[in-house]
Copies of this chain bind each other. A is one copy, B any other.
Amino acid sequence: MAAKRIPTIVKKIIAEATDVHAKIRRKSKPQMKLPIRSLSNVKYRPKTGYFQLLGKNKVRTLTVGTVKTFAQTLKMLAMSKDLVETGRHSTKREAYYQAYNWAEASFVAQEESDTVMDDVEAMLGVNREQMNFRADEHGGEVAGELIVIDRDRRTGKPIEIDCTAFGSGAYSVPTVVEELKFKTSAKFILAVETKGMFERLVEEDFYDKYHCILVSMGGVPSRACRRFIRRLADDKKLPVYVFTDGDPYGYFNIYRTLKVGSGNAAHLNEYLCVPQARFLGVSPQDIIDYDLPTHPLKDVDIKRANDAMKNDPFIRHYKVWQKAIEKMLKMGVRVEQQALAKHGLEFVATKYLPEKLKQINSFLP
């Protein structure tokens, strides 16, 4: 067999371990350096387009008090190396149970092993999927003008998955998307909040008529879904338009998370967020323009909106977002994307989206 290329992640792990080993041989205290993971160590950088770490680190030195965590961190690195080398992936839950055999270094609860995994992730400056760890979550669904190139595990050969060939079904995105490649002639990606709206657009042949790729996020997009959109958009230089309910949950929990990431996982935003995303709708202005039925804002909606106006670095950066939120608060209502069905089931596909797509410059940033 030809000499195999050592994956970057394995090189990083070996470098960390070699450093610790060398220090021990020199009888000095080994150290591990980890970025501090909190909002205090985060800044919104409009240029790169997401929350970024400010660079404050904590240093973990091997002492009597840290010996268990230190050992766990090294064991977790070893587990990751093993996974990458065997081509396997492990969920967080599985990692926790595998660690049952670490004797004194085993974990008391899964929260403990999750924290160590987060530490390792931040330490190496990668997302855990690159270390062959994965979350146990739904990765989103895809239909449209896209061919995903994956690998057949049995033969090792590339396989092409044609996302126009699923009929009324869809391609379900795996939890780890690092190795996927893409072929497409689509003009944009349309990320949709609900499965119901996704299936509406599939049923209306929307992706055919407008040459796009539809992604169903199923509420707040999972890591895999965000990473999938990001990799696809980067690789194929595609714009990303986001279509959610017109309420604080759609604006902040879904859109904001997709675009710039979140504060407590800032070390990952580099990989997981989609800075090229723009907000298509449903906007507060759409309620007026399209005469849409609404529901009154709930107390929690109002609180969430006021919080964002005050504290969210992303909203505070964009005047147009502040104006949109102010308009929503003044109108006192929220709107669901399905409200467009008032004008007929096909309205969203034949009128609303086509009209919006003619004025992309008016999308919220």
Q: Which A residues form the contact surface with B (CB < 8 A)?
A: 88-91, 93-98, 100-101, 134, 136-139, 141, 148, 150-154, 159, 161, 165-176, 194-196, 199-200, 202-203, 205, 208, 218, 293, 336, 338-342, 344-346
Contact = CB atoms under 8 A, between A and B. Distances in A.
Contacts of A88: 203, 345-346
12 contacts: A91-B338, A93-B341, A138-B138, A139-B195, A152-B167, A159-B165, A161-B166, A169-B171, A169-B172, A170-B172, A172-B172, A175-B196
B199 A134 contact: yes
Most B CB within 10 A of own CB, among A148, A154, A342: A342
Contacts of A97: 293, 336, 338-342
A134 B166 contact: no
Contact of A174 (B148, B168, B339): B168
A106 to B, nearest CB: 10
Contacts of A148: 167, 169
Contact of A150 (B98, B168, B293): B168
Contact of A171 (B89, B95, B172, B175): B172
A338 B93 contact: yes
A344 B170 contact: no
Given A172-B141, A336-B93, A342 B154 contact: no
| Tally of this chain's copies | 2
B174 A169 contact: yes
A136 B172 contact: no
A102 B172 CA distance: 38
**Chief secondary structure at chain A's binding surface:** mixed
Nearest to A208: B154
A96 B339 CA distance: 9
Given A138-B138, A150-B167, A150-B169, 4 more contacts: A153-B203, A170-B171, A170-B174, A171-B171
In the A-B complex, the 6 residue pairs with the closest CB atoms: A150-B167, A136-B196, A172-B172, A91-B196, A168-B174, A94-B341
A136 B193 CA distance: 11
A205 B171 CA distance: 19
B94 A338 contact: yes
A218 B203 CA distance: 24
Contacts of A93: 196, 336, 338, 341
